Chain A
Amino acid sequence: MSEIPYVIFTVFSQTAVGALIAVLIADFLAKGNEDAQFFETGAWVPVPVAVIGMIAMLSHEARPLQAMMTMNTNLATSWLSREVLALTSFVILAVIYTVLWLFEPSYGSLKWFPVIPKITEKFMALRKPVGILGALAGLGYLGVSARSYMMLGMPAWNQPSTVLYFLVTSLLVGVTAVAAVLSVKYLVKKKEAGKPFTSFLWATVGIVLVMVVVLGVALYSNITMVPLAGTEAARSAQDAAREDMLAGEHAPFLWLRVVIGIGLVLVCLAALAVALVKNSIAKASFMVMLVFACAFIGEILGRIVFFGANVPLGEVIPCVLSSL
């Protein structure tokens, strides 16, 4: 499957955005150093996930090193250049935000590190503003990234569902990834978790629920192929892509995504909500991990369909030539 690097790049880079937003939510929920110390583990998630995505992006280039240096040369007209710039901006802010968490002098995991915690101490007041800027840059990246795929040459991508898919991947997988990491920590060190963790899990439930609804809308929109480009050639390409998606080579991936990425996520989410209502945080933590696993698998499957079931305009242009 030649689309695998694209799948990994998009899913992981978008997950990193959602993960940073989740850590920022935790940052606002933490009421003291004890809470912050518990949430600090979540700050390990965004940057490594983004780096995996960036490595996948470079791996599919014929000249990866040259690509790293020159890809944002054509900002004037190339959406790919803009996407690279937006991603770089997000990653820089995410790295600063992560450093301010991990090197925090009183509870950071890396507080034992020489010199750096003393420097970060002076900038701790900036952590939340940097996090907000990072989240905004991340959301900007999602928009630019979606726009870079919405092109006339690829009619199946040139529709609103592309933006929605990217937003869903980001918040559904990113937020549950951080929640899952924190849940593992909770199951290992229960004493460190305070009430804010319960609030964080409730926030996760809300975000996942909204994102599943958005995913349903995106899938409907994608299957019915809301056209942005109304030419006969574009419609032919969209029809061919839809046929592949619903009954062709990629149909099993689509239906598995619906079952795992929506059905199982909703079942686990319901169990999570019930556990939270009963104040059974251990059970809720376990359910969050399941929600993350299902969401992650669902999004990977969905992205395989996105990149695989796509018919370029160049393939159908000759077939509609007589009517052009």
Chain B
Amino acid sequence: MSILKFGFDRDICIGCAACEVACKTANGVPHGTRRRRVITVERGEYPAVEKYFVSMGCMHCTIPACERACPVKAIFKREDGIVLHDKDKCIGCGYCGWACPFGAPQYPHDLPADLKEYEGIMDKCTFCVVPFKQEKDANGVIIQSEPKPSCATSCTTKALNAGDIREMTTQERAARSLIEVQV
């Protein structure tokens, strides 16, 4: 069984926000809500200043703080590591948003008429298996598609990757050893 995670290399991110746009388009995420966001960080003091970009989203943690915090068990973890959220169970208390150290859970407001039922109900990255407008089958199970995160596939520099954590770690190690050899 693969364990799915995101991998991010800030050294090669150029801050184009293609990941953010792709996420919103693929999942129908309305204006004002961002499952993934590119943050610009500027730090240091002249002349030793640096600027970099960070693509932040749900980390699909091994032990998700949001899942543990949720008082109504609306958040759950699939076997492959993807952390999902049932919008029908969610009461919009905001506690998962406080518990998450990455600020991943979002609370949509001022939604268009066709999405009004999700006003104040938490939304988060689903590894592109569930769009913003969640649907269920006859058994009440959330309809989920194959995990192919559009943010990672659309990343122009491959700074953002998604896949099995073991494969990604091996690739990263190989890449880093290559850099060390070149240096």
Asked whether, in the complex, the Cβ of B72 is within 8 Å of the Cβ of A74, the reply is yes
Q: Which one, B54, B73, B119, contacts A318 given CB within 8 A?
A: B54
B103 touches A312 (CB 8 A): yes
B71 at the interface (CB under 8 A from A): yes
Determine if A71 and B91 form an interchain contact, defined as CB atoms under 8 angstroms apart.
yes
Asked if A77 and B104 sit within 8 Å, CB to CB, the answer is no
Interface flags, B72-113, vs A, CB<8A=1, else 0: 110000000000000001111111011111111000000000
Total number of A-B contacts with CB less than 8 angstroms?
97
Chain B residues, CB < 8 A from A321: 10, 41, 52, 54
The answer to whether A152 touches B65 (Cβ under 8 A) is: yes
Q: How far is the CA of A80 from the CA of B97 in the complex (A)?
A: 13
Q: Out of B43, B70, B71, which one reaches A72, CB within 8 Å?
A: B71
A80-B95, A318-B39 known; A73-B100 Cβ under 8 A: no
In the assembled complex, A317 has its CB within 8 A of some CB on chain B: yes
Is B136 in the interface zone, CB < 8 Å from A? no
B71 adjacent to A71 (CB under 8 Å): yes
In the complex, chain B residues whose CB is within 8 Å of the CB of A151 = 65, 69, 98-99
Residues from chain A with Cβ under 8 Å of B89 in the complex: 70
CA distance A40 to B97 in the complex (A): 43
In the complex, are the beta carbons of A317 and B101 less than 8 A apart? yes
Q: Roughly how many angstroms separate A317 CA and B101 CA in the complex, as a whole number?
A: 8
Q: Is A62 an interface residue (CB 8 A)?
A: yes
| A74 close to B70 (CB less than 8 A) | yes
Contact A153 B65 (CB under 8 A): yes
Q: Is A192 in the interface zone, CB < 8 Å from B?
A: no
Expressed in whole angstroms, the minimum distance between the Cβ of A8 and any Cβ of chain B is 15
Mark A57-85 against chain B: 1 for CB-CB distance below 8 A, else 0: 00011111011001111100111110010
B56 interface contact, C-beta 8 A = yes
A313 at the interface (CB under 8 A from B): yes
Are A78 and B69 in contact (CB-based, < 8 A)?
Answer: yes
Does A314 contact B72, Cβ atoms closer than 8 Å?
A: no
The contact of B100 among A66, A74, A153, by CB within 8 Å, is A153
CB-CB < 8 A to A60: which residues of B?
A: 93-94
The contact string, 1 if C-beta is below 8 Å from chain A, for chain B 56-72, is 10000000010111111
Interface centre among A61, A72, A79, A80 (most CB of B within 10 A): A80
Is A70 in contact with B72, judged by CB distance below 8 angstroms? yes
Report yes or no: B101 in contact with A80, Cβ–Cβ below 8 A: no
| Bound Cα distance from A58 to B67, whole angstroms | 21
Say yes or no: B92 contacts A78, CB within 8 Å.
no
Residues of A within 8 A of B120 (CB): 61-62
Q: Which residue of B lies closest to A310 (CB)?
A: B98
* Interface check A315, CB cutoff 8 A: yes
| 15 more A-B residue pairs beyond the given contacts A78-B71, A315-B103, with a C-beta to C-beta distance below 8 A | A60-B93, A66-B91, A67-B72, A70-B71, A71-B71, A72-B71, A77-B68, A79-B69, A80-B71, A80-B93, A81-B71, A313-B101, A313-B103, A314-B103, A322-B10
* Chain B residues with a Cβ under 8 A of chain A: 10, 39, 41, 43, 50, 52, 54, 56, 65, 67-73, 89-95, 97-104, 119-121
9 A–B contacts from the bound complex (CB under 8 Å)? A61-B92, A63-B90, A67-B91, A71-B71, A78-B68, A84-B71, A153-B99, A314-B104, A321-B41
User: Which A-B residue pairs are the 3 nearest by beta carbons?
Assistant: A314-B103, A62-B92, A62-B120
